[in-house]
């Protein structure tokens, strides 16, 4: 069975004290992970080492970076390289989150470079993809999101693509007042898996975890995650509240 993953994305929130309290509350909550379930915590850069020590020795729990730079090293003041992340034991990194694409103009080609660097350092990329409201309304969402995979991932070998996690974000359903249903999530996840299968075959496609990133919370997690091609969620706001995120965890298959 594919890994079922609850990934918390704290974004630019929480002080170190607040984040430590939040993580402690989640870790002390009453839940049990099965062998095929994982928790990821995408934490702001300054807290990666502190939070890594908090989950040391805990099964199926990992600290992730929210971003990395697309060059190996150099005169890029304020940026963080993949080798820096690797040197402190980080095993996962978000790549291409919709906010990075929108606010920092990250292109599919830039994201391909990030994916390459992550895999070279044995860091698993959580590759984010998704369409805007205008793309959804035009009916071109399948072609658009498929192209994101094509331009950023499809240069990879079967072995390397198998170490990538995909997270689908319906940008049109975040902050617009429109809601994506569990069925709409399943429809796009099934399409993404079919695109992967066309390129790499069914065996590879059926073993890649595809997460849903559209306003997942405690109340809807179980329904969304019950869809056959939805393998968990990339969770924003609900991951900042311990009780909410614990309910998300409990909703995993």
Q: What residue has token string 């005169």?
A: 75
- Residue 176: pLDDT above 70? no
Cα 238 from chain centroid (whole Å): 14
Angle at 179 between CA 174 and CA 180, to 5 degrees: 95
Given a cut of 80, is residue 148 above it in pLDDT? Answer: yes
> Domain limits of the chain?
4-250
pLDDT of residue 172: 87
Over pLDDT 90: what percentage of the chain?
Answer: 94
Tens-digit pLDDT profile for residues 183-217: 999 999 999 999 999 999 999 999 999 999 988 99
CB 6, CB 232: distance < 8 Å: yes
What CATH number does domain 4-250 carry, 3.40.720.10, 3.40.50.300, 3.20.20.70, 3.30.2270.10? 3.20.20.70
**pTM for the full model?**
0.96
Phi and psi angles of residue 65, each rounded to the nearest 5 degrees, phi first: -85, 155
Pair 232, 4: CB distance under 8 Å:
yes
CA 45 to chain centre: 16
- Residue 25 CA to residue 29 CA, distance in Å, equals 6
Name residue 63's beta-bridge partners.
41
Q: What's the confidence (pLDDT) of residue 36? A: 96
Whether the pLDDT of residue 179 is over 80: the answer is no
> Whose structure tokens read 């915590």?
41
State pLDDT tens for residues 46-85. 999 999 999 999 999 999 999 999 999 999 999 999 999 9
b vs e for 51-78, b when ≥16 Cβ sit within 10 Å of the residue's Cβ?
bbebbeeeeebbbbbbbbbbeeeeeeee
The span from the CA of 235 to the CA of 117, in Å, is: 25
Model confidence pLDDT, tens digit, residues 85-137: 999 999 999 999 999 999 999 999 999 999 999 999 999 999 999 999 899 99
pLDDT for residue 174: 77
Structural tokens at position 70: 């697309």
Buried b vs exposed e over 100-123: b needs ≥16 C-beta within 10 Å?
Answer: bbeeeebebebbbbbbbbbbebeb
Q: Is the pLDDT of residue 180 over 90?
A: no
| DSSP classification of residue 124 | E
Task: Enumerate the active-site residues.
Answer: 97, 169
């Amino acid at each position: 069975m594919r890994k079922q993953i609850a990934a918390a994305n704290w974004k630019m929130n929480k002080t170190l004290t607040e984040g430590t309290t939040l993580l402690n509350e989640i870790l002390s909550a009453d839940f049990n992970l099965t062998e095929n379930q994982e928790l990821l915590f995408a934490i702001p850069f300054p807290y990666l080492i502190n939070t890594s020590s908090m989950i040391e020795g805990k099964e199926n729990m990992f600290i992730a970076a929210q971003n990395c730079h697309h060059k190996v090293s150099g005169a890029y003041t304020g940026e963080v390289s993949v080798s820096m992340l690797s040197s402190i034991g980080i095993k996962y990194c978000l790549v291409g989150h919709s906010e990075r694409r929108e606010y920092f103009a990250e292109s599919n080609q830039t994201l391909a470079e990030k994916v390459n660097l992550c895999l070279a350092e044995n860091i698993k990329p959580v590759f984010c993809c998704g369409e805007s409201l205008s793309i959804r309304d035009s009916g071109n969402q399948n072609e658009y999101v498929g192209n994101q995979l094509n331009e950023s991932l499809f240069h990879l070998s079967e072995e390397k693509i198998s170490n990538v996690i995909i997270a689908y974000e319906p940008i049109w359903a975040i902050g617009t007042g429109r809601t994506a249903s569990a069925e709409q999530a399943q429809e796009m996840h099934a399409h993404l898996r079919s695109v992967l299968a066309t390129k790499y075959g069914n065996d590879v496609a059926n073993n890649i975890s595809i997460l849903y990133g559209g306003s997942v919370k405690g109340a809807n997690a179980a329904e969304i995650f019950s869809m056959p091609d939805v393998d968990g969620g990339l969770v924003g706001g609900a991951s900042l509240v311990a009780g909410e995120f614990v309910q998300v965890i409990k909703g995993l298959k």
